[in-house]
Amino acid sequence: MSNISAADTDATSAIVDERNLPDVSPLLSHEAVDLLLGAHLAFVACRTGHGNQHLLYRIAYAVYLSYLLWSEGFAVADANFYLRAERELEAASRRGYESGQWTVSASAEDAFCQFLRIFDQQLETTNAEILGRAKTRLDQIFRVARDGLKK
């Protein structure tokens, strides 16, 4: 079952064409395809001014999942790469809350395109067990953060 909601589809339907979509390997699991396409579609929507809070969250989820896969040895990147992505996400979130514009800044586009290439490679090279473990860990981190905000 796909995690792509009707809101995601509505926000991206007018701007998506096949040139914006990744070349998806037929060997990827349905879960990996969902993560990959979700991240790409969310980025396209946020890059073109059609983003929303949920789509920015999808990008953040992908960035943090990628970081966890990187920490398991699945990527050629460094910690500074992920720190920059996190700073850009924080700035986009701040803009979204302040102005209602859930966009990725033009200065961050190259970094997010590089991130998406790394994420693509990670999902192509990791196995379901490692991906599942990373997702479980990330879901726990997000749950603790969310529960901490409720207190």
pLDDT tens figures, 12-34: 444 444 444 445 444 567 888 89
Determine contact, residues 72/125, Cβ cutoff 8 Å.
no
Lowest mean pLDDT among 6-15, 62-71, 72-81, 115-124: 6-15
Q: Which residue range forms the structural domain that includes residue 145?
A: 6-150
Which residues lie closer than 8 Å to 2 by C-beta, 6 or more apart? 34
Q: In which band, very low, low, confident or very high, does the pLDDT at 150 lie, cut at 50, 70 and 90?
A: low
Mean pLDDT of all residues in 76-95 = 92
Residue carrying structure tokens 């896969």: 69
Whether 75 is in a domain gets the answer yes
Average pLDDT for residues 109-132, to the nearest whole number? Answer: 91
Look over the chain and give the mean of its residue pLDDT values, rounded to a whole number. Answer: 83
* Section 97-117 average pLDDT: 92
**Confidence check: pLDDT of 41 > 90:** yes
Residue 110 CA, chain-centre distance (Å), reads 15
pLDDT computed for residue 149 by the predictor: 67
Q: Which of 67, 38, 69, 70 is nearest to 55 (CA)?
A: 38
pLDDT confidence of residue 5: 54
- Does residue 116 lie within any of the structural domains? yes
More confidently predicted of 21 and 74: 74
Please answer whether residues 117 and 104 qualify as being in contact, where contact means their C-beta atoms are separated by less than 8 angstroms.
Answer: no
* C-alpha distances in Å from residue 149, one per residue of 119, 127, 142, 143: 29, 33, 11, 10
Does a structural domain hold residue 56? yes
Q: Poorest-confidence range of 14-18, 26-30, 70-74, 126-130?
A: 14-18
Of the chain, the end-to-end C-alpha distance in Å amounts to 32
* Residue 147: predicted pLDDT: 75
CA atoms of 33 and 46, how far apart (whole Å)? 20
58 token code pair = 């999808």
Query: Is 1 part of any domain?
Result: no
Which residue type sits at 127? N
Domain count, the chain: 1
